[in-house]
């Protein structure tokens, strides 16, 4: 059994939805709620359900997050789900739970994310921007707000006359489908990673489901056996899968191998640019191809590789990484060009000299 702790600050409809969804299965459960507001409405709801609730004042979240890690570890928490949680999750928590802290955001990140973009603000900004699509994103939490790698997204259409309120209601429905599925997907990836790391510890497939994450590592219950069982339950896969996206495909610019990149999210490029004011750095793709064809082949290929990383990183929300890739592409184009010119200009004198030597 995997243990998920939910962190919330407000009404907590997503938190309740996670609790209820996983109570129906026997692989994942939500035994703990953590809040940063003493009177958050979600507390009473979880108490009614008989779920343990811990309150830590904002001061503790800011200055002593180690205390929180201690409580989580004591309760054998495997993964953290932020469901409308407004405090910053400090480095010690992120370090104690690498690739195990997820957040749900009510837009198609990287569009409409970052400082001040929470709750109703997001939907108002979406309506104001006049875009025709919005949705929900579950991403890994990093120190940069709303910039962690995207795990899953679900898109919804914005109808004419849509208001921030009606949009919020639609996005909430998408979130209820998306978040449980993203939690399962995160566990599936962790299982995959563990199984790749320690294949020699893999016993026969008939070993029963593990009771803790430590046991899971060598249980032989890989992605296909353990998590698919959950998906195949009547209320699981059927309801959520057709509208959610995890893996991009066939874009031809390197994104197809990027598990964090949603197909439909690609279409929101223009929206992301308009809203975040962060245009994609130049990819130099044409120059890279010219260098491969006309100048020096190997440095040209290296330039093309970095060129493809520009958009991949950008759509993961890693703007810094994208800028770095763009700079690298630029440098390798110059290297390729210089080597190409040198080779071309030296060719003639070299041939003349070698002809004279004969
Ligand atoms: C959700 O829209 C979520 O995306 C955002 O905060 C909202 C929380 O809503 N992070 P609820 O408290 O789960 O109803």
pLDDT at residue 268, as a whole number:
39
pLDDT of residue 321: 81
Residue 71 has pLDDT above 50, yes or no: yes
Distance 229 CA to ligand 1 centre (A): 28
Q: Residue whose CA is closest, atom 6 of ligand 1? A: 84
**E strand residue ranges, the chain:** 2-8, 28-35, 52-55, 79-82, 101-105, 133-140, 150-157, 244-245
Check if the beta carbon of residue 87 is closer than 8 Å to that of residue 101.
no
Which residues, at least 6 apart from 158, have a Cβ–Cβ distance to it below 8 Å?
Answer: 126, 127, 131, 132, 133, 134, 167
What does the pLDDT read at residue 267?
37
As a whole-number percent, the residues of the chain with pLDDT over 90 amount to 53
Q: Whose CA is nearest to atom 10 of ligand 1?
A: 84
pTM of the model: 0.62
Lowest pLDDT segment from 48-57, 177-186, 190-199: 190-199
The preferred substitution site among 16, 43, 150, 175 for testing ligand 1, maximizing ligand atoms within 8 Å of CB, is 175
Does the structure show a pLDDT above 70 at 214?
A: no
What's the confidence (pLDDT) of residue 10? 95
Examine the residue annotation and report whether 105 is marked as an active-site residue of this protein. yes
Q: Is pLDDT at 274 greater than 70 in this prediction?
A: no
State the residue for tokens 């016993």. Answer: 203
Q: Which residue's alpha carbon is nearest to atom 14 within ligand 1?
A: 13
Which stretch of 33-37, 39-43, 291-295, 301-305 has the lowest confidence by average pLDDT?
291-295
Query: pLDDT band for position 212 (50/70/90)?
Result: very low
Which of the following is catalytic: 105, 123, 139, 172? 105
Average pLDDT of the chain, as a whole number: 80
The string of pLDDT tens digits covering residues 128-144 is 999 999 999 999 999 99
Q: What is the pLDDT of residues 149-177, one digit of tens each?
A: 999 999 999 999 999 999 999 999 999 99
Within 10 Å of residue 273's Cβ, how many Cβ atoms?
A: 15
pLDDT band at 273, cuts 50/70/90?
very low
Which of 112, 119, 154, 170 is the best mutation target for the ligand 1 pocket, counting ligand atoms within 8 Å of the beta carbon and taking the most?
119
pLDDT given for residue 347 in this prediction: 79
Q: How confident is the model at residue 355 (pLDDT cuts 50, 70, 90)?
A: confident
In degrees, rounded to 5, the angle at the alpha carbon of residue 60 between the alpha carbons of residues 59 and 65 is: 135
Could you tell me if 193 and 213 are in contact, meaning their C-beta atoms sit under 8 angstroms apart? no
State the closest ligand 1 atom to the C-alpha of 103, by its place in the atom list counted from 1.
10
List residues near ligand 1 (CB under 6 A).
10-15, 83-84, 104-106, 119, 175
Confidence class of residue 106 from pLDDT cuts 50, 70 and 90? very high
pLDDT > 70 fraction of the chain, expressed in percent and rounded: 74
């Amino acid at each position: 059994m995997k243990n998920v702790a939910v962190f919330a600050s407000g009404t907590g409809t997503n938190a309740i939805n996670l609790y209820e969804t996983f109570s129906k299965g026997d692989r994942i459960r939500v035994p703990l709620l953590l809040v940063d507001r003493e009177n958050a409405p979600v507390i009473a709801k979880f108490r009614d359900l008989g779920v343990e609730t811990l309150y830590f004042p904002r001061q503790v979240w800011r200055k002593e997050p180690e205390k929180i890690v201690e409580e989580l570890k004591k309760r054998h928490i495997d993964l953290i789900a932020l469901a409308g949680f407004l405090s910053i999750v400090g480095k010690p928590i992120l370090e104690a739970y690498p690739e195990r802290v997820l957040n749900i955001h009510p837009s198609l990140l990287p569009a409409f994310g970052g400082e001040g973009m929470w709750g109703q603000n997001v939907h108002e900004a979406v309506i104001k921007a006049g875009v025709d699509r919005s949705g929900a994103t579950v991403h890994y939490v990093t120190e940069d707000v709303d910039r962690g790698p995207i795990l899953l997204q679900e898109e919804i259409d914005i109808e004419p006359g849509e208001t921030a309120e009606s949009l919020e209601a639609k996005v909430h429905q998408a979130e209820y489908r998306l978040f449980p599925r993203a939690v399962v997907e995160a566990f599936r990836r962790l299982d995959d990673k563990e199984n790749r790391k320690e294949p020699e510890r893999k016993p026969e497939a008939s070993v029963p489901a593990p009771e803790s994450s430590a046991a899971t590592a060598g249980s032989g219950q890989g992605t296909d056996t353990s998590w698919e069982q959950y998906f195949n339950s009547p209320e699981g896969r059927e309801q959520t899968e057709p509208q959610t996206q995890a893996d991009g495909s066939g874009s031809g610019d390197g994104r197809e191998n990027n598990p964090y990149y949603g197909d439909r999210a690609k279409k929101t490029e223009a929206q992301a640019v308009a809203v975040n004011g962060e245009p994609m750095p130049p990819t130099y793709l044409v120059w890279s191809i010219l260098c491969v064809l006309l100048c020096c082949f190997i440095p040209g290929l290296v330039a093309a590789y970095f060129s493809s990383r520009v958009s991949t990183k950008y759509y993961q929300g890693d703007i810094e990484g994208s800028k770095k890739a763009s700079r690298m592409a630029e440098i390798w184009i110059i290297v390729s060009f210089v080597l190409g010119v040198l080779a071309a200009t030296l060719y003639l004198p070299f041939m003349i000299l070698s002809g004279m030597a004969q």
